[in-house]
A and B are shown apart, each in its own frame.
Chain A
Amino acid sequence: MTNVGHNSGDAAASQRHVVTVSLPTALVRLFPGSPNQVQIEARDVAEVVDGLEERWPGMRDRLTDSRPSIRKHLNIFVGADKAQLDTPVSAGTKVTILTAMSGG
């Protein structure tokens, strides 16, 4: 499985932190047993995704595409800021995964 967009720069050199990750209900429904909130140890958003994939195989493909990038109609926030896969996370940060307003 592809390790999507992991940045081996500054974030990789830093320490892993436990962060709280909030998952949208539409995603949780696709993975029976997954919760709306989970604690993940990570240095950046890519490692958050790695951690989710480890717990619920297949979740990476729901969140990221092959460019590699966060899917176009999903947003991931680290704290209050919109993040990319190489956005670092720090201890106690809340990582929020949100579906975009879309559909019909």
Chain B
Amino acid sequence: MTKRVLILVGTKKGAFILDGDAARQSWQLRGPFCEAWPLNHVIANAETRTVYATGGNEWFGPAVWKSEDLGETWTHSSEGLKYAEGEEPIKCGWSLSPGKDCIYAGVEPAGLFRSEDGGVTWAHVEGLRNHPTRPNWTPGGGGLNLHTIIRHPGDGNQLWIGISAVGVFHTSDGCKTWTPRNVGIRNNYMPEGQQFPEVGHCVHSIAMAAGSPGRLYQQNHCGMYRSDDGGKSWSQIENGLPSTFGFPCASHPRDKDTFFLIPLNGDILGRYMPDAKAAVYCTRDGGETWEDLREGLPQEQAFFGVLRQAMATDKLDPAGIYFGSSSGSVFASADEGGNWKEVARHLPTITSVETLVVE
């Protein structure tokens, strides 16, 4: 039985937690945590209720923060979170994936680390950076960061990662070898005839469909895509969207065909809500058609964006949907996007939103 719902918020100045009641109607803000460090991702292990946060401090470098009491107290570690001597130092952590067997951390410059002791020590997963395409990896505007980690729910050897502006990679042998999975993804910033390279794609976010590991959704700088074969090939699903550009995407917790994203007004005109009216777009048929969900969201002067890790669903029924804006507001819907409420405002720029249902 659900007792509380937590919205975990990463910002450019620390972590915050919104404590919600079981009905998801009343929210109390706690924070800032993690010494107001710039954070890129705050997420919990749902089984252990351990909350992790990662980012990087300009003075003190990267670290992974950890709280075993839902944010009351925190520790930090970067033991082993480093490349070999002489390589470009790690600037910050970007993405975390806590699981039963281990925690993965994606960092900038792009690479993957693994902790098998709950985030106390870390080891570099070397296979990814040994990929022969690595000399061609070029950072996007946000840096050469590994920002997305997707685990196969039934096979611990399978993992998908997203690197900006490189693309999607998949491993099926426990991270020893990796294969680019970008076929069908278009890069508008290459000359005609070269717009479908093996790597060099500005993937913004990826999400796996509920109960369907072969189905992935991808919001790319240059379009919105779906794959039904684990990323081996991608198809455009942009018809009906106001723009092909956006950052976050989120899957419904149970329905593989239902999926949410937040299109912005393109990549050259400010990257804010189209017509300055906020909306989440939802498909219920795998991307064939889209509807806009905007009841309760600002419909004028919404000159904000939503960053790549700043939208999440919860696992309840009906599903809750949450997103955080670049202007520091958190919006929540307890009815799958039908009605929205601003549950926090005036926070620092929000970089990530995740949820934890406490039972």
Real binding pair: yes
Q: In the bound complex, do residue B60 and residue A68 qualify as a contact, i.e. CB atoms below 8 Å apart?
A: no
Q: In the bound complex, do residue A58 and residue B79 qualify as a contact, i.e. CB atoms below 8 Å apart?
A: yes
* A71-B60, A71-B61, A102-B58 known; A61 vs B89 contact (CB < 8 Å): no
Q: In the bound complex, do residue B35 and residue A103 qualify as a contact, i.e. CB atoms below 8 Å apart?
A: no
Q: In the bound complex, do residue A102 and residue B85 qualify as a contact, i.e. CB atoms below 8 Å apart?
A: no
Per the bound structure, the CA–CA distance linking A65 and B84 in Å amounts to 10
B46 within 8 A of A: no
Mark contacts of A32-61 with chain B using CB atoms, 8 A cut-off: 1 yes-contact digit, 0 otherwise.
000000000000000000000000011001
Q: In the bound complex, do residue B78 and residue A67 qualify as a contact, i.e. CB atoms below 8 Å apart?
A: no
A69 closest partner in B (C-beta)? B89
* A61-B61, A66-B90, A73-B58 known; A30 vs B35 contact (CB < 8 Å): yes
Q: Is the interface of B mostly helix, strand, loop or mixed?
A: loop
Q: In the bound complex, do residue A61 and residue B79 qualify as a contact, i.e. CB atoms below 8 Å apart?
A: yes
Q: In the bound complex, do residue B35 and residue A29 qualify as a contact, i.e. CB atoms below 8 Å apart?
A: yes
- List, in ascending order, chain A residues with CB within 8 A of B86's CB: 66-67
Per the bound structure, the CA–CA distance linking A74 and B84 in Å amounts to 21
* A66-B89, A67-B86, A68-B85 known; A58 vs B78 contact (CB < 8 Å): yes
Q: In the bound complex, do residue A26 and residue B89 qualify as a contact, i.e. CB atoms below 8 Å apart?
A: no
- List, in ascending order, chain A residues with CB within 8 A of B81's CB: 61
- List, in ascending order, chain B residues with CB within 8 A of A58's CB: 76-79
- List, in ascending order, chain A residues with CB within 8 A of B82's CB: 2, 61, 65-66
Contact pick for B59, options A67, A68, A71, CB 8 Å = A71
Q: In the bound complex, do residue A1 and residue B79 qualify as a contact, i.e. CB atoms below 8 Å apart?
A: yes
B101 within 8 A of A: no
Per the bound structure, the CA–CA distance linking A66 and B83 in Å amounts to 7
Band of interface residues on A: 20 to 34
- List, in ascending order, chain A residues with CB within 8 A of B60's CB: 26-27, 30, 62-63, 71, 74
Mark contacts of A58-100 with chain B using CB atoms, 8 A cut-off: 1 yes-contact digit, 0 otherwise.
1001110111100101100000000000000000000000011
- List, in ascending order, chain B residues with CB within 8 A of A61's CB: 61, 63, 78-79, 81-82
Tell me the chain B residues, 329-343 only, with Cβ under 8 Å from chain A.
none
Per the bound structure, the CA–CA distance linking A52 and B280 in Å amounts to 50
* A66-B82, A66-B84, A73-B59 known; A30 vs B89 contact (CB < 8 Å): no
Per the bound structure, the CA–CA distance linking A30 and B62 in Å amounts to 13
- List, in ascending order, chain A residues with CB within 8 A of B117's CB: none
- List, in ascending order, chain A residues with CB within 8 A of B72's CB: none
B87 within 8 A of A: yes
Per the bound structure, the CA–CA distance linking A103 and B85 in Å amounts to 27
A71 closest partner in B (C-beta)? B61
Per the bound structure, the CA–CA distance linking A73 and B56 in Å amounts to 12
Tell me the chain B residues, 33-88 only, with Cβ under 8 Å from chain A.
35, 58-61, 63, 76-79, 81-87
Q: Which of B61, B76, B77, B83 has the most CB of A within 10 A?
A: B61
A99 closest partner in B (C-beta)? B59
Q: In the bound complex, do residue B87 and residue A66 qualify as a contact, i.e. CB atoms below 8 Å apart?
A: yes
- List, in ascending order, chain A residues with CB within 8 A of B84's CB: 66
| Least distance between B12 CB and chain A CB atoms (Å) | 9
Which residue numbers of A lie inside 8 Å of B, CB to CB?
1-2, 26-27, 29-30, 57-58, 61-63, 65-68, 71, 73-74, 99-100, 102-103
Which residue numbers of B lie inside 8 Å of A, CB to CB?
35, 58-61, 63, 76-79, 81-87, 89-90
Q: A57-B79, A67-B85 are in contact. List 14 more A-B contacts (CB 8 A).
A: A1-B79, A27-B59, A30-B35, A58-B76, A58-B77, A58-B78, A58-B79, A61-B61, A62-B59, A65-B82, A65-B90, A68-B85, A74-B59, A74-B60
6 A-B residue pairs with Cβ-Cβ distance under 8 Å, sorted by A, are A62-B60, A63-B60, A65-B61, A66-B89, A67-B86, A102-B58
